[in-house]
């Protein structure tokens, strides 16, 4: 044994370093800042707008390049968000310690964690985090593996036992030989998978990208045909005019402001949530959580606080309750280093009455002792041992007691109390108090133990857990509890907080195949003794069944599932790994903050759907008109600067105002479908108005291009106003003020800056034509809006 405890020699260490068997950080690296900037700048979206800007630059009409401001802002926001995400991910580390004690050449020395080599002999004591997977070669200890496995009970480790990196030594000291280093470590594998890049699962983002991809496919062929028709076959249109009108058509097709609006609205939600102690680490997760239909909860840290508390004390036989209280309190208090169970007992009684001579007044628990309890004097204390599973004491009165696991304390007499123990054990940890004759020199019990009382110690449930669970049930969200603890205990706690069908539970150790796991995901509500890999597979199985899944957790054992979920939520008091990989972090560690996040998501999605329809009016209008003016013999009736006027007052300003209003309605339907349905009435009305004005103006009234363009710009703004009015129902003071500002802004641009926006003075024929088009647009728009709205509402009802 002495040879084994000398550790590696210096030459052995040098040889292992040369082979690369060192505990270096070999986890997945995130993209560099340079790569992030390049990926956000060099996009098809930016390339299209840059090409269009270059064409405008050739004409020398610099005012028509103002649309590039929005493009620059879009790119800047994307870069900032991704760099922020990168920095968060780079901080992800499961192994927190930086120094460890090893034995080399027979001498104990302290080295950095990343200097450990394969085969090193490490010395680990109470409170130490295990830096690398190892095997115990000498000594015994109790290890807390809850961060890795979710199992809250301490695990006894003896020579030959395996130690997992990332777990903590709770008691004892051991010498352990390192069996894995670097990327081969258990914790490193979890960390590496957690750091891998994950695509954002956002319906809004996917919809916007789909629109951009569609526009990108048709924009240049359509633009080339339109330009060729105007310049080569049109009625003597100058080159610069042909370029500007073609660019106007193409710019109008791109909803560039919609991406900026989306980022801004979600950024405002982030600020609002921060005031409620919720840290948002990924913008689009707000939207995702509002769409979640399945919520997976980790028991510890989410439903419970992670602490233990006494539930009740039950006396047996003729034992008095005062004797039971005094014995429990005194034995627990005699331990100089109480474990979590003993500490729960101490807290239970200290919260009832202060220690003798103390100045404070303790608060009385609802289920606490009716009378103050005092600690009794102790002649001899028998400390708790994980081997014997009990502790004891000889009091000054001469009475001797033992307290611990009933089977270990009572032995053959356990059958007499089995029924009561098992009843209490459904959702609690149960210990028995027994009177004994005394203890021998080795601390063993003497005589037959006489059971006096049982004490049930349970996980402390968050006061707001039941209310929050009820909220999600009312919203139609399916709840699953996934934990590393005993499934019976988890089921009991789940039933207490009101999770439906919580009595339907399964022990994950019995799920030996992926098929069994997938089947269990839909059949059970409570899962116990689940490994980190199984948690991840459960989430993926639910996703494969078509569910949008959110996962809450606080330990390293939750990291893989958090990463796999559509929306991940961690408690700030949890592990660094869970916090850094999660999209949402509850800073106040209160699960009750979740409804606020859902409410913010609903406000963002519903308002974005309403506002996005304004952008799609311009996109659909520009596409259809571009096709029409390939056939018609006239010049496309807009220039880029005129589209800027329309975008600013009938799209940009109202969309931002409407998108930031309160809105807690449940999210219904698909984002893109909802937006298109709302936009089509305005698009169709505007198309008809523009085509009608062109036909009448050129064939009957004999107006020139500048006059026709002026009427088309104002007619499009008018239709945009009609849509804003409908979207503003019911009216509020801010919505009424918005309509006034929109009208005033368009009039101001047309009258004060006519040259900038290419607005011509109205003649009598122009007044008549515009008035007829504007009046006709009102009933056409309202009929279309009502028809599309009724069809869409009926379709949504059918899909529910």
Q: Taking the mean position of all CA atoms in its chain, how far away is CA 285?
A: 6
Q: Is 722 helix (H, G, I), strand (E, B) or coil?
A: helix
DSSP H or E stretch at residue 175:
strand 168-178
**Number of other residues whose CB lies within 10 A of the CB of residue 317:** 10
Burial 682-698, CB ≥16 within 10 A → b, else e: bbbbbbbbbbbbbebbb
Largest CA distance in the chain: 118
Distance CA 284, CA 203 (A): 9
Q: Does 347 qualify as catalytic in the annotation? A: no
Distance CA 417, CA 406 (A): 8
Contact 653, 260 (CB under 8 A): no
Q: Which of 128, 133, 298, 459 is catalytic?
A: 298
- Among the listed residues 287, 263, 284, the one whose alpha carbon sits nearest the alpha carbon of residue 76: 263
Specify the DSSP class assigned to residue 130.
P
Contact 291, 476 (CB under 8 A): no
Only one residue has tokens 């009305």, namely 685
**Number of other residues whose CB lies within 10 A of the CB of residue 357:** 5
Distance CA 509, CA 517 (A): 10
Q: Is 392 helix (H, G, I), strand (E, B) or coil?
A: strand
Q: Extract the tokens encoding 396.
A: 């000054």
Torsion sign (Cα): 190, 191, 194, 195 = negative
Q: Taking the mean position of all CA atoms in its chain, how far away is CA 63?
A: 43
Contact 466, 304 (CB under 8 A): no
DSSP H or E stretch at residue 404:
strand 400-404
E strand spans, 57-114: 99-104, 107-112
Query: What's the N-to-C CA distance of the chain in angstroms?
Result: 70
Torsion sign (Cα): 407, 408, 414, 420 = negative
Q: What is the dihedral of CA 315, 320, 323, 327, to 10 degrees?
A: -10
DSSP H or E stretch at residue 176:
strand 168-178
What size, in residues, is the chain? 800
Bridge-based pairing of strands 162-163 and 304-315 is unpaired
**Number of other residues whose CB lies within 10 A of the CB of residue 485:** 23
Only one residue has tokens 């699962």, namely 201
Distance CA 658, CA 32 (A): 37
Distance CA 577, CA 88 (A): 10
Specify the DSSP class assigned to residue 428.
S
List the catalytic residues: 298
């Amino acid at each position: 044994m002495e040879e084994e405890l000398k550790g590696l020699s210096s030459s052995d260490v040098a040889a292992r370093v040369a082979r690369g068997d060192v505990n270096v950080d070999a986890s997945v690296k995130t993209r560099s800042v340079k790569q992030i900037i390049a990926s956000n700048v060099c996009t098809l979206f930016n390339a299209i707008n840059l090409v269009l800007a270059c064409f405008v630059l050739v004409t020398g009409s610099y005012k028509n390049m103002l649309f590039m401001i929005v493009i620059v802002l879009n790119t800047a926001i994307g870069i900032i968000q991704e760099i922020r995400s990168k920095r968060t991910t780079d901080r992800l580390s499961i192994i927190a310690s930086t120094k460890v004690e090893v034995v080399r050449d027979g001498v104990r020395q302290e080295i950095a964690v990343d200097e450990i080599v394969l085969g090193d002999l490490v010395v680990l004591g109470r409170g130490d985090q295990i830096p690398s997977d190892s095997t115990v070669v000498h000594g015994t200890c109790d290890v807390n593996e809850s961060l890795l496995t979710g199992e809250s009970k301490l695990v006894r480790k003896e020579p030959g036992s395996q130690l997992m990196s990332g777990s903590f030594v709770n008691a004892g000291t051991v010498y352990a030989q390192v069996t894995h280093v670097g990327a081969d470590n258990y914790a490193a594998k979890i960390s590496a998978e957690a750091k891998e890049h994950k695509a954002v699962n956002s319906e809004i983002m996917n919809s916007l990208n789909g629109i951009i991809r569609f526009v990108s496919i048709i924009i240049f062929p359509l633009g080339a045909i339109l330009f060729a028709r105007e310049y080569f076959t049109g009625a003597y249109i100058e080159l610069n005019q042909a370029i500007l009108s073609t660019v106007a058509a193409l710019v109008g097709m791109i909803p560039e402001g919609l991406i900026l609006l989306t980022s801004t609205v979600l950024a405002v939600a982030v600020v609002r949530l921060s005031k409620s102690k919720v840290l948002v680490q990924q913008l689009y997760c707000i939207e995702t959580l509002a769409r979640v239909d399945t919520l997976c909860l980790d028991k510890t840290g989410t439903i419970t606080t992670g602490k233990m508390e006494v539930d009740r004390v039950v006396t047996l036989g003729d034992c008095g309750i005062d004797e039971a209280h005094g014995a429990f309190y005194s034995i627990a208090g005699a331990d100089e280093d109480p474990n979590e169970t003993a500490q729960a007992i101490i807290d239970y009684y200290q919260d009832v009455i202060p220690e003798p001579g103390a100045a404070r007044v303790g608060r009385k628990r609802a289920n606490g002792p009716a009378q103050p309890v005092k600690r009794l004097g102790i002649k001899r204390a028998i400390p708790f041992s994980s081997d014997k599973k009990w502790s004891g004491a000889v009091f000054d009165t001469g009475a001797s007691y033992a307290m611990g696991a009933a089977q270990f304390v009572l032995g053959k007499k356990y059958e007499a109390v089995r029924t009561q123990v098992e009843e209490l054990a459904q959702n609690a940890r149960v210990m028995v108090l027994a009177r004994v004759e005394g203890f021998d020199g080795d601390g063993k019990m003497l005589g037959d133990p006489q059971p006096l009382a049982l004490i049930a110690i349970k996980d402390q449930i968050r006061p707001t857990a039941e209310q929050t669970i009820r909220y999600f049930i009312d919203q139609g969200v399916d709840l699953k509890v996934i934990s590393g603890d005993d499934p019976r205990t988890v089921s009991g706690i789940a039933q207490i907080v009101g999770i439906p069908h919580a009595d339907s539970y399964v022990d994950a150790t019995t799920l030996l195949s992926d098929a069994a796991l997938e089947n269990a995901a839909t059949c059970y509500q409570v899962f116990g003794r689940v490994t980190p890999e199984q948690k991840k597979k459960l989430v993926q199985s639910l996703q494969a069944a078509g569910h949008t899944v959110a996962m809450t957790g606080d330990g390293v054992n939750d990291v893989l599932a958090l990463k796999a979920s559509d929306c991940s939520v961690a408690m700030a008091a949890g592990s660094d790994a869970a916090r850094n990989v999660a999209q949402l972090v509850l800073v106040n560690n209160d699960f009750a903050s979740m409804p606020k996040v859902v409410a913010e998501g609903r406000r963002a999605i519903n308002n974005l759907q309403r506002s996005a329809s304004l952008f799609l009016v311009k996109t659909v209008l520009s596409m259809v008109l571009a096709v029409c003016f390939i056939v018609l013999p006239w010049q496309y009736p807009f220039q880029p600067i005129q589209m800027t006027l329309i975008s600013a007052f009938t799209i940009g300003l109202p969309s931002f105002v409407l998108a930031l209003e309160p809105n807690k309605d449940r999210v219904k339907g698909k984002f893109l479908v909802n937006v298109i349905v709302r936009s089509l009435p305005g698009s169709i009305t505007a198309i008809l108005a523009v085509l009608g004005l062109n036909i009448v103006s050129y064939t009957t009234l004999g107006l020139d291009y500048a006059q026709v363009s002026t009427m088309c710009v104002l007619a499009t703004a008018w239709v945009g106003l009609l849509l804003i009015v409908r979207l503003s129902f019911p009216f509020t003071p801010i919505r009424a003020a918005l309509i006034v500002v929109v009208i005033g802004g368009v009039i101001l641009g047309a009258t004060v800056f006519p040259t900038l926006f290419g607005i011509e003075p109205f003649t009598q024929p122009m007044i008549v034509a515009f008035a007829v088009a504007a009046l006709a647009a009102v009933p056409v728009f309202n009929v279309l809006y009502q028809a599309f709205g009724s069809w869409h509402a009926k379709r949504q009802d059918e899909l529910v």
